[in-house]
Every structure is written in structure tokens, then in C-alpha cells.
Amino acid sequence: MSGYLNEFLYGYYPYVAVTVFLLGSLARYDLAPYTWKTGSSQLLRRGQLRLGSNLFHIGILIVFVGHLVGLLTPIAVFDAFGIGHGFKQVMAIVVGGVAGLMCLAGIAILLHRRLTDPRIRRNSSFADNAILILLGVQLLFGLLTIPLSLGHLDGSEMVKFMAWAQRIVTFQGGAAAAIADVSFVFKIHMFLGLTIFLVFPFTRLVHVWSAPVRYILARRGYQIMRTGGGGAVAARETAARLAARRPACG
Ligand code: HEM
């Protein structure tokens, strides 16, 4: 891969993807709050849905937390706790591998259900199917990194990915250069991962925000009103009304 392309894909594209992810999610929440859901078809083929959904969600949550901790914890913290690079690499392979396989099995079941049942198929949008396929392909590339990582059990490659991620989130230069010489399998996996951030606001994945957003709104006394298009506005108005009614303390 040319130096310029490497710099563009792994030095600049991460910021494009994360900006679209954050602003896109915010815009969708404000402009179309009632499309912020899974668009579930859970009344149809329940047994298959439950198994597929559980495998998918448990697997992806473990992979997500593993990536977050594994890539973003400063190396000095692992060193301070005496956790060697080799041990961390083996943990990533074993825990990430098992969780990745669970998630892949879940996606296979969900895709089979979505594509083979005519009623569910009719009710699935292009984005519903495309995001499942994208996540499945991403998982395949993630799992394909394992044989490569088995060739670097000392964790030497892993340290490059940590340096990349930490330079990106701390806005330091040289992030793309840190991974310039890694295998194309890692590079495709990382590119697809960033692309998932980019398309996130335009898919049913936005429902992931529901738990933290509901928690924050509940703590601040907000209530979502079903008033058609202006839900977020109504929520703000309700909060203001509640605040005005609350007796002044002290
Ligand atoms: C921007 C997003 C992502 C980045 C930068 C990223 C990066 C990486 C890296 C560097 C590895 C190799 C870890 C190592 O062996 O040291 C890896 C492995 C893996 N990734 Fe990702 N990934 C991303 C998103 C995802 C997503 C969305 C999934 C699942 C749908 C996923 C699934 C996996 C799996 C199953 C493995 C193999 C097991 C493991 O090492 O944890 N990744 N990823």
C-alpha cells in the first residue's frame, strides 16, 4: 500500500468516520427520534431470533469491550500491573476468538432468518440486510487475523495497533506510520471497522445509543413524548415545565 493511501485510510479516515458517527447520531436523534430503534421483527420466528440475537449480542459485547480495553489502555498500565505483551496477545486471541465465533454464529442465524422467511424479508430494508452482512464480513476478517497473530505471540504486532489507536484518540501524528507494515488482513479489518462507525447513524445500529441516552434522560427528569416528528423538542419542553413546577429548595 502506498504511503499516501496508508496515511489517508489510517491517519485521516478515522476522524471522518468518527465525526459522521457522532454528528450523524445526534442529527438522527434530534430530527427523527422514533426511527431510533431496532426495527424489530420479533413477533416472527421467535425461537430462531432469541438464539441468534443472544449469540450475536453476547459475542459482540465481549469483542467491543475487548477492543476498547485492548487497544486504548496505555501500554504503561499493562506494564505497571506486570501483564506481559505475550499474555495480552494470547488473551486477545482466546477471548476475542471465542466471542467472535459466537457472534458469527449469531449473525449467520439472524441472516438466515431475515433472508429465508418471506414475511421478514419483505419487512427488511436494504440497510437492515447490508449492516448484518458488513458485520459478518468484519467478523470473518477479525477471525482471519488470529492465524497471523499466532505468528507473533510475543505481542510485537499488537503493540503497533495499540500505538495506532492511542495516537488517533490523542490527536498525535504518526498513527498511520505505526501500522504501515502490518498484513493487509489487519488493514482490511481496520478499514471495515472504521466504515461501520461511518454508516452507524444510517442503520438500525443507532439503537445501541438507547441505553445510555435513556439513562441520562431519566436521571435528568426528561420524558419522551410521542408527538409525531418533534419528540426531542417535546422532551425538552416537558423537562422545562417540570423544572418550573418543582418548588425552589432552601
Ligand atoms: C474501528 C474498529 C476496529 C478496529 C480498529 C479493530 C482492530 C482489530 C485488531 C488490531 C485486531 C487484532 C488484535 C490482535 O491480535 O492484537 C482485531 C481482532 C479482531 N476483531 Fe477487530 N477491530 C475493529 C472492529 C471490530 C468489529 C466491529 C468486530 C466485530 C464485528 C471485530 C472483531 C474482531 C475479532 C473477532 C478479532 C479476532 C480476535 C481478537 O483478537 O480479538 N473488530 N481487531
Inside any domain, residue 62: yes
Domain count for the chain? 1
* Average pLDDT for 147-172: 95
Of ligand 1's atoms, which has the minimum distance to the CA of residue 143?
37
- State in Å: Cα 62 to ligand 1 middle: 11
Cβ of 142 less than 6 Å from ligand 1: yes
Give the model's pLDDT for residue 250: 36
Inside any domain, residue 33: no
Inside any domain, residue 92: yes
State pLDDT tens for residues 1-57: 789 999 999 999 999 999 999 999 999 888 877 666 555 565 556 777 889 999 999
Characterize 133-150 residue by residue with b for buried, 16 or more Cβ atoms within 10 angstroms of its Cβ, and e for exposed. Answer: ebbbebbebbbebeeebe
Which CATH number belongs to the domain containing residue 79 in this structure?
Answer: 1.20.950.20
| Residue with CA nearest ligand 1 atom 18 | 142
* Average pLDDT for 198-223: 80
* Average pLDDT for 191-215: 89
Give the whole-number percent of the chain exceeding pLDDT 70. 81
Of ligand 1's atoms, which has the minimum distance to the CA of residue 97?
38
* Average pLDDT for 120-127: 86
Domain span holding position 173: 39-207
Q: How far apart are the first and last CA of the chain?
A: 66
Inside any domain, residue 130: yes
Inside any domain, residue 61: yes
Yes or no: say if 140 and 104 are a contact pair by the CB < 8 Å rule: yes
* Average pLDDT for 221-241: 57
Q: Which of 123, 112, 139 is nearest to 204 (CA)?
A: 123
Cβ of 102 less than 6 Å from ligand 1: no
Inside any domain, residue 169: yes
Give the model's pLDDT for residue 88: 94
- State in Å: Cα 67 to ligand 1 middle: 6
Inside any domain, residue 249: no
